[in-house]
């Protein structure tokens, strides 16, 4: 049987609340008995409002956090097993929101080589990986540049290359576009979408931008530490009012289609692309 | 009550290898009470521009006037200017530091030399304005959620009762509802208090929805300075400089190309829906 890339069983994560003297005064559950399976090679999006638990869940995927209850397996490895820690981290790479916090090298190619070097990869192989990963994010012509002269989108692509160079089976991106301008967002998204085709990795994208997830295979929506919705983008975005009740939104074209339907036009639910809306309008009598 | 910039130039690290012209001959007037949006890709000069408005950065050459007074004139009260032009930086919640929310919001007025009673009065007023519930006022700012922290930080600036509120990406990192709540609150404040609001954002949809006028920055220069409809009608030029129009603008263009008689200037979902309904009616009428 093919095992899932990410698998959880009744996953719980509790924070301890402490008073000023450091005494525990209670616990708060960020993740509450989540059961989740993500197949290898899928492009998954996780949505949820601030504080819904999505980043906490993401941090479990490479064992930055370990469950306080239940279990998480990454590529079949239990993240609670200290012996597996480095294997888990190598299986699942993370990309965070702020590119400036993730870049350490003074030259782009050095930065990308940092990860594999730490894994003890032989030098020849490091250079091969650096070249290959910079190519796959479209940044090879910047290999000798200084990272601090790059735009936000370019920095974020270098950060992604740094993760790819470690050859993880799975990449978790926690709001990678939150600090970028429209062009930067487009660049990063294109890179993310191409990754799974070129590198056959599982991609898990956490975002607050609804337009970014319409190409996902599957979307999970989180609220109060639970997974409250899951399905294809079309299934999820056809439920405009439910999404709004979870403090989320739909892409602008979906919103427009929904508004037109409310005003009496015969337009199907779950429209995700502008071409679909144009087609639906043309079909009206 | 207005802000006026005349031929402002700003050069970073002049005379060194890192010399970079960040602003180039900026001439601009923002009348009192306007809601202005500023857009531009990363590095286009938006933040440098906003930091000139309260004297945080001094222009290499050119003049800045606040209410007709030259802020670079000798003896000009810069301190007063900074409390008049309130700047909310990106991720302002990183600047929260006090033991509780109320004390944190009191920090600005306290530095204006007001009495403790007056400080608290202004702080509670500001917290109400941003819609932060009273039950949180005695909490540590670090116990709040992302959206609440951001409100507390904005309240800290509002407590100084500025005539101009400058917000640099106030919604970055917030969930969609949080984004709408903060911007709706700011729009409400703007209507209530005739405060000038200057909003820097990467979200074309937000800017289109709230701003009366948009300033587009590119390579340290002002490329456009016009109404949202006018600015977004240049969507192809905007794309060339790393920006875009709101998604609806593109949808309207496609619908028009498909043979519907719709205008293409809609920049919000409501406007677009109105246009489409009108066009569909016309089409049905003519069959």
Q: Does B284 sit within 8 Å of A285, measured CB to CB? A: yes
Q: Å from B11 to nearest chain A CA?
A: 17
Q: Average per-residue pLDDT in chain B?
A: 91
pLDDT of res. B142: 85
A277 vs B251: CB contact, 8 Å cut-off?
Answer: yes
Contact B176 A211 (CB under 8 A): no
Q: What is the largest CA-CA distance in chain A?
A: 71
The structure's pTM equals 0.85
**Angle between the B269-286 and A252-262 helix axes, to the nearest 10 degrees?**
50
For B176, the 3-state DSSP assignment is helix
Q: Do B277 and A151 touch (CB under 8 A)?
A: no
Q: Nearest CA to CA, how far is B261 from chain A (Å)?
A: 12
CATH of A6-250, one of 1.20.120.350, 3.50.50.60, 3.10.20.600, 3.40.50.300: 3.40.50.300
pLDDT of residue B26: 96
Partner-chain residue, chosen from B254, B260, B273, that has the shortest CB–CB distance to A263: B273
Tell me which chain B residues have a C-beta less than 8 angstroms from the C-beta of A259.
269-270, 273
Q: Residue B1: which pLDDT band, with cuts at 50, 70 and 90? A: low
Count of pairs with CB atoms under 8 A, one residue in A, one in B: 113
pLDDT of B64 higher than 90: yes
State the smallest CA–CA distance between residue B187 and chain A in angstroms.
Answer: 20
User: Shortest CB distance from A259 goes to which of B40, B273, B287?
Assistant: B273
Q: Which of A200, A227, A237 is nearest to A42 (CA)?
A: A200
User: Per residue in B169-215, pLDDT tens?
Assistant: 898 888 898 889 889 989 998 998 889 999 999 989 999 999 999 99
Confidence label for B287 from pLDDT (cuts 50, 70 and 90) = low
B26 forms beta bridges with B8
Least CB–CB distance from A49: residue in B177, B269, B287 = B177
Tell whether A247 lies on the interface with B, counting CB pairs under 8 A. yes
Residues of B in contact with A267 (CB under 8 A): none
User: What is the model's pLDDT at position A1?
Assistant: 45
> Could you tell me the pLDDT band of residue B18, with boundaries at 50, 70 and 90?
confident
Number of Cβ within a 10 Å radius of residue B275: 21
Tens of pLDDT, residue by residue over A86-127, are: 899 989 999 988 888 888 888 999 999 999 998 899 999 999
Low-confidence spans in chain A with pLDDT less than 70: 1-2, 285
Domains of chain A by residue range: 6-250
Q: Where are the domains of chain B?
A: 1-76+163-242, 246-287
C-alpha pair distances (Å), A47 with each of A50, A53, A128, B134: 10, 10, 35, 29
| C-beta of residue A66 within 8 angstroms of C-beta of residue A13 | no
Compare CB distances from A284 to B43, B175, B280 and report the shortest one's residue: B280
Given A175, A182, A282, which is nearest B244 (Cβ)? A182
With CA atoms as reference, the chain B residue closest to A18 would be: B143
SS (H, E, C) chain A: CCCCCEEEEEEEEEEEEECCCCCEEEEEEEEEEEEEEECCCCEEEEEECCCCCHHHHHHHHCCCCCCCEEEEEECCEECCCHHHHHHHHHHEEEECCCHHHCCCCCCHHHHHHHHHHHCCCCHHHHHHHHHHHHHHCCCHHHCCCCHHHCCHHHHHHHHHHHHHCCCCCEEEEECCCCCCCHHHHHHHHHHHHHHHHHHCCEEEEECCCHHHHCCCCEEEEEECCEEEEEECHHHHHCCHHHHHHCCCCCCHHHHHHHHHHHCCCCCCCCCCCHHHHHHHHHHCC
- Which CATH architecture fits B1-76+163-242? 3-Layer(aba) Sandwich (3.40)
Q: Which chain B residue's Cα is nearest to A177?
A: B173
- Inform me whether the pLDDT recorded for B92 exceeds 90: no
């Amino acid at each position: 049987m093919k095992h899932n890339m990410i698998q959880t069983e009744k996953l719980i994560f509790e924070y301890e609340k402490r008073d000023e003297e450091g005494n525990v005064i209670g616990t708060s559950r960020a993740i509450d008995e989540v059961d989740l399976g993500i197949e290898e090679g899928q492009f998954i999006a996780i949505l949820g409002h601030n504080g819904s638990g999505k980043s906490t869940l993401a941090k479990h995927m490479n064992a930055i956090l370990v469950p306080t209850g239940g279990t998480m397996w990454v590529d079949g490895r239990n993240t609670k097993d200290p012996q597996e820690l480095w294997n888990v981290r190598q299986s699942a790479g993370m990309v965070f929101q702020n590119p400036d916090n993730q870049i350490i090298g003074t030259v782009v190619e050095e930065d990308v080589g940092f990860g594999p070097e730490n894994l003890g990869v032989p030098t020849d192989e490091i250079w091969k990986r650096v070249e290959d990963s910079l190519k796959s994010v479209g940044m090879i012509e910047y290999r000798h540049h200084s990272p601090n002269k790059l735009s936000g989108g370019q920095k974020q692509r270098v950060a992604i290359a740094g993760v790819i160079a470690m050859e993880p089976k799975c990449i978790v991106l926690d709001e990678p576009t939150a600090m970028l301008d429209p062009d930067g967002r487009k660049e990063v998204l294109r890179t993310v979408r191409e990754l799974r085709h070129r590198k056959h990795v599982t991609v898990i994208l956490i975002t607050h931008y609804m337009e970014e997830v319409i190409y996902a295979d599957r979307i999970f929506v989180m609220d109060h530490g639970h997974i409250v919705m899951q399905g294809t983008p079309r299934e999820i975005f056809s439920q405009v009012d439910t999404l709004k009740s979870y403090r989320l939104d739909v892409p602008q074209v979906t919103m427009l289609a929904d508004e037109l339907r409310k005003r009496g036009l015969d337009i199907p639910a779950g429209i995700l692309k502008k071409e679909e809306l144009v087609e639906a309008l043309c079909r009206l009598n | 009550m207005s802000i006026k910039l005349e031929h402002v130039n700003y050069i970073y690290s002049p005379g060194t290898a890192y010399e970079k012209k960040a602003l180039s001959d900026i001439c601009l007037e923002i009348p009192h009470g306007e809601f202005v949006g500023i857009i531009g890709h990363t590095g286009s000069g938006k933040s440098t521009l906003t930091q000139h408005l309260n004297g945080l950065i001094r222009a290499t050459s050119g003049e800045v006037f606040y209410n007709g007074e030259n802020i670079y004139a000798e003896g000009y009260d810069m301190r007063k200017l900074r409390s008049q032009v309130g700047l909310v930086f990106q991720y302002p919640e990183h600047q929260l530091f006090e033991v509780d929310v109320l004390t944190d919001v009191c920090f600005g007025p306290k530095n204006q030399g007001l009495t403790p009673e007056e400080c608290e009065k202004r702080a509670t007023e500001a917290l109400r304005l941003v819609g932060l519930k009273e039950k949180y006022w005695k909490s540590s700012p670090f116990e709040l959620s992302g959206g609440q922290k951001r409100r507390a930080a904005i309240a800290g600036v509002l407590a100084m009762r500025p005539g101009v509120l400058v917000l640099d990406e106030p919604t970055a990192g917030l969930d969609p509802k949080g984004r709408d709540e903060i911007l709706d609150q700011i729009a409400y404040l703007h209507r209530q208090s005739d405060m000038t609001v200057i909003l820097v954002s990467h979200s074309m949809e937000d800017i289109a929805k709230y701003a009366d006028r948009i300033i587009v920055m590119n390579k340290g220069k002002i490329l456009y300075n016009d109404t949202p409809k006018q600015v977004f009608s240049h969507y192809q030029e905007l794309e060339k400089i790393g920006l875009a129009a709101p998604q609806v603008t593109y949808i309207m263009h496609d619908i028009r190309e498909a043979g519907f008689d719709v205008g293409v200037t809609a920049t919000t979902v409501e406007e677009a829906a109105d246009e489409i309904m009108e066009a569909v009616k016309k089409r049905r009428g003519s069959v």
